[in-house]
């Protein structure tokens, strides 16, 4: 059962994503404070991480780069889930170490398919 770390400052979004990944048999953990995300990631050792970009404290870009540069998480897929739909944000996220990018609002099927493809190892 893949462990999914969901990081977003919006509790409604994390609850929705938690429900979706739970329905697929994954084990979700949610964090609504980006400054605590690395600590939680270290404790649960997730198989996949989803990050919002626009968060107080550490932005998703900063958090993605920190996680990607940490040897414990270098090979963990990071999916950005953000309302930012501009090419610059997508490019910046990929340079920071993101594996994929989903734009909010997202369809449940699209989200689940990305999770499935990235956790099927």
Domain segments of the chain: what residues?
3-116
Bridge partners of 50, per DSSP, are: 6, 79
* pTM of the model as a whole: 0.96
> What pLDDT is stored for residue 121 in this prediction?
64
> What pLDDT is stored for residue 116 in this prediction?
93
Task: For the chain of 121 residues, list the mean pLDDT of each consecutive stretch of 10.
Answer: 96 97 96 96 97 95 96 96 96 96 95 94 64
> What pLDDT is stored for residue 4 in this prediction?
98
Token couple for 79: 């999916």
Cα torsion 59, 83, 96, 38 to 10°: value is 40
> What pLDDT is stored for residue 73 in this prediction?
95
> What pLDDT is stored for residue 26 in this prediction?
96
Cα(75)–Cα(88) distance, rounded to whole angstroms? 24
> What pLDDT is stored for residue 120 in this prediction?
85
Domain 3-116: give its CATH architecture. 3-Layer(aba) Sandwich (3.40)
């Amino acid at each position: 059962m893949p462990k999914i770390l969901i990081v977003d400052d919006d509790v409604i979004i994390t609850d929705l994503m938690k429900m979706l990944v739970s329905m697929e048999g994954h084990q979700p953990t949610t964090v609504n404070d980006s400054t605590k995300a690395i600590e939680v990631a270290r404790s649960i050792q997730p198989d996949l991480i989803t990050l919002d970009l626009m968060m107080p404290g550490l932005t998703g870009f900063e958090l993605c780069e920190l996680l990607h540069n940490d040897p414990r998480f270098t090979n963990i897929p990071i999916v950005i889930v953000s309302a930012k739909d501009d090419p610059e944000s997508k490019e910046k996220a990929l340079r920071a170490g993101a594996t994929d990018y989903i734009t909010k609002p997202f369809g449940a099927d699209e989200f689940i398919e990305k999770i499935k493809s990235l956790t099927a190892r």
